[in-house]
Chain A
């Protein structure tokens, strides 16, 4: 009797396990390549390494497209510079099976790479370059991350409507197209909604005299500093503010908060209270796709971060785009068009859409640092 009961239980368990398993497509023998241009030198190496890692994760569970073609990643590790990016793209383009490329290069480098991609007819998905000019007038280059216009708009409205500030100062680098555009766009939007930009402090060849500039801003009654510079400049400003015993609110561009916290053995709490825009935060409520990704990361003992999330999502976008082409002709032209037909794809923290112009519609997250760790404040959909 006991044996019968045990056997029945085992049978039911086996059936349940069988029911829970979905059969994937049968391999067709065909292979398609997805290229990755991943910076692997200096500070930028973090985004290249984590981005490529994120892209590999969906392939661990389902490495086949719906038509049975196997997806293989081809990673090009390069410097985060224009020449290196162009060379990597040209090399990848020679592969006949290559269907698309995901780039983790910065906006300045991509300004040189994007025309080459257009000329070679290689679909490129930008995972970290936010300059809106990169997609303008191009059919093959699309953005996965939000662009600088959206980032600037969210920053301006957050300052006015959440923080209720109306007098700010902007820090910009006129030699950096990204910083130049972001600060200009922010200034335009903030002024449009009734705010006042008291001054734009520009970084010259010899840097900025922070003490003088900050003293001037304090005397003008600046309530917030909007900084479009990198982590080094933000750290220098924080240090000077401490020396001045002045505590204005600080808002930085995407990715800088994580860089500040990743810098060497210094007290992280010195950055407490700084705000920043981003695409992801650990304590954000995630979608089912996000939960799935978290479980994948846990399997290999890793945790999510901005660039691994962008890598993971870029692979989801490309796989969906290639699957849509699989019924027709799976080629680069189709994939480029199909990427721009991404609608309501479930990303890690919300839906992602890429419009006909290659512009990504996705949430912008406003984070802050509290007690030396990142905490998310709001998600702007």
Chain B
């Protein structure tokens, strides 16, 4: 059974004048003493002397003022939100709609809760300072405008040093782009990020600090707020959280502090909690969560924030778009990359074995044997090291890895060439032919493999998947084919296969560099020259690859359309059942075709057919036809 107050003062702002009649004519038996805001402000104590319950419909600033007065004088407060106060209504669990809000405000059901004061001003739901693009947008700003303003602010976002003092801990020195002081977590942005107490009477104030190391990092953080997919105990990697009965936040440069969306004060800011200070009609969800909370114990979660040593390396200017990283953070990965860049006995042994295995597999035309060779091949690891070397301008890592690759290439070519010399017969198999015409599609395979390789390398829990990457991109078989070309003394054979190897190498290196950069392994200063050289190499390689790609496309189109072609030759109907380009050397197409015909074709018919086939071909061609009289 809901009980209502018998008597209440109603403080109304001129903006909420239209509510006056509704509140006075309430159906709950409450006698209303109307008070205009101005009258109340002129003599607050006198106007509300002896008041038991006060309902207010006014701007946030006045509501905060009333709550502060209630903490001194003990009356309970009901709030009727006016236009533009949706965030406050959500934070206090107030119902939607004017009638429901009036009914709720007049209930004899107030709840004792803490008040948080920052520099003497009450926080209703949050206060912000520093750079918090999108989160610090005032409520009245529309979504589109907020996004545009956010994009502008993102360009200026940076970290700044902070000193935070709590009630029970020594001063914490860190850096952040901004901070958000919250009174509780339910119904606020912080509730998407933080698990734990949602109490409004835990005697503490919370501080969420954002410390992204890149703009991308910050965007991910925004995504985590908007899409609360992770609600574990761990904080998102860009934020820290401090909770205490008293917080003092200092920064070298003074920042504006926005309380409930409005500019209210500047840093340094001191926030403290007035325990059980006010009685307010707030939503039942908040009360349930608050019922057992009593402790005032500091919570310090600053592991994700930069420490003092890292602060020195952090850029004082705006954040880069992609993350930067120090070696300290990823020591394990860099140790592994340095090891991969070394030429070891194992590396040489594996290169020799994998190449010989690949060469034999190629001669056997056995895909299974070749895949075995791919798995043995150790070339992928130094390639990934080369990527990191270029990305971070680490000459030592780059030179060492490049040397290792060069040694591997020479070994592979020599091993394949010598193995070929050992065979008396040197057939050209389908597996070899398949590696003689690299196209842009092969480059695409290399790029995706490079991304996968870098990603797998940076996450040791999935590093075993590098085997799959090695199979996808297959570095050693093209080298083996190139070596076979050397062994046969056929330089065209060598060049074509080596082009495929180069395609793979450049594709992997560039893609891995890009991936490392996105993941966050890039240095503060980019190695523009190294990247430039790689891009030029990519452009150079793309020219023959593009030509080969268009050739393949033409070939597919030719073969597809050939199936729909018929010839009428001296009254005989010739059906082209299948046609395949077997070579296109020097502009001359060699085509293998299967023709279906009912009557026998004479020499004259064949001559006419030849003329017609040539007439309908854009390029000169030679056709080897199998004629099937099977109709």
Contact = CB atoms under 8 A, between A and B. Distances in A.
Contacts of B571: 153
A161 B615 CA distance: 24
Interface stretch (B159-167, B175-183, B288-296, B557-565): B557-565
A351 interface: yes
Interface in B547-574: 557, 561, 564-568, 571, 573
A285 B571 CA distance: 25
B566 A379 contact: yes
Contacts of B631: 161, 164
Interface in B576-623: 596, 598, 612, 615-616, 618
14 contacts: A150-B568, A157-B573, A158-B566, A160-B573, A160-B598, A162-B566, A285-B561, A364-B568, A378-B564, A378-B566, A381-B566, A381-B612, A381-B615, A381-B616
Contacts of B615: 344, 351, 353, 381
B557 A380 contact: no
Contacts of B573: 157-158, 160-162, 380
B391 interface: no
B564 A381 contact: no
A154 B567 CA distance: 10
Given A161-B575, A379-B566, A381-B567, A285 B557 contact: yes
Nearest to A150: B568
B616 A377 contact: no
A287 B618 contact: yes
Contact of A162 (B561, B568, B575): B575
Nearest to A349: B616
Interface string B488-529: 000000000000000000000000000000000000000000
A164 B630 CA distance: 12
Chain A to chain B: the 3 pairs with minimum beta-carbon distance, closest first:
A157-B573, A380-B566, A285-B561
B65 to A, nearest CB: 58
B568 A376 contact: no
Contacts of A288: 618
Interface string B92-109: 000000000000000000
A377 B564 contact: yes
Interface in A157-174: 157-158, 160-162, 164
A160 B631 CA distance: 9
Nearest to A350: B616
Nearest to A156: B573
B557 A161 contact: no
B575 A381 contact: no
Interface residues of A, number: 24
B568 A153 contact: yes
Nearest to B572: A157
B327 to A, nearest CB: 35
Given A161-B575, A161-B598, A351-B615, A380 B568 contact: yes
A94 to B, nearest CB: 40
Contacts of B565: 378-379, 381
B621 to A, nearest CB: 14
Interface residues of B, number: 17
Point out which of B564, B566, B568, B575 has the most chain A C-beta atoms below 10 A from its C-beta.
B566
A167 to B, nearest CB: 17
Contacts of B596: 161
Contacts of A344: 615
Interface string A338-353: 0000001000001101
Nearest to A189: B571
Nearest to A353: B615
- The interface centre, meaning the residue of B564, B565, B612 with most chain A CB atoms within 10 A of its CB, is B564
Interface string A228-250: 00000000000000000000000
Contacts of B557: 285
Contacts of B568: 150, 153-154, 157, 364, 380-381
Interface string A284-295: 010110000000
A376 B598 contact: no
Most B C-beta atoms less than 10 A away, residue of A161, A288, A351, A353: A161
A364 B598 CA distance: 20
Interface in A319-377: 344, 350-351, 353, 363-364, 376-377
Nearest to A343: B615
Contacts of A380: 566-568, 573
Contacts of B612: 381
A350 B568 CA distance: 14
B572 to A, nearest CB: 8
B597 to A, nearest CB: 8
A363 B612 CA distance: 11
Nearest to B615: A351
B564 A379 contact: yes
Nearest to A366: B566
A376 B563 CA distance: 12
A378 B596 CA distance: 14
Nearest to B573: A157
Nearest to A285: B561
Nearest to B569: A381
Interface in B136-157: none
Contacts of B616: 350-351, 363, 381
Contacts of A381: 565-568, 612, 615-616
B591 to A, nearest CB: 15
Contacts of A160: 573, 598
Interface string A8-22: 000000000000000
A48 to B, nearest CB: 30
Contacts of A351: 615-616
B564 A376 contact: yes
Nearest to B609: A381
A184 B612 CA distance: 28
Interface in A50-72: none
Interface string B211-252: 000000000000000000000000000000000000000000
A161 B567 CA distance: 12
A154 B573 CA distance: 8
Contacts of A353: 615
Contacts of B566: 158, 162, 378-381
Interface in A125-166: 150, 153-154, 157-158, 160-162, 164
Interface in B43-94: none
A147 B480 CA distance: 59
Given A153-B571, A157-B568, 11 more contacts: A162-B566, A285-B557, A285-B561, A351-B615, A363-B616, A378-B565, A379-B566, A380-B566, A380-B567, A381-B566, A381-B612
Contacts of A379: 564-566
B581 to A, nearest CB: 15
Interface in B262-308: none
B619 to A, nearest CB: 12
B150 to A, nearest CB: 31
Contacts of A150: 568
Interface in A280-307: 285, 287-288
A364 B566 CA distance: 10
B92 to A, nearest CB: 57
Nearest to B560: A285
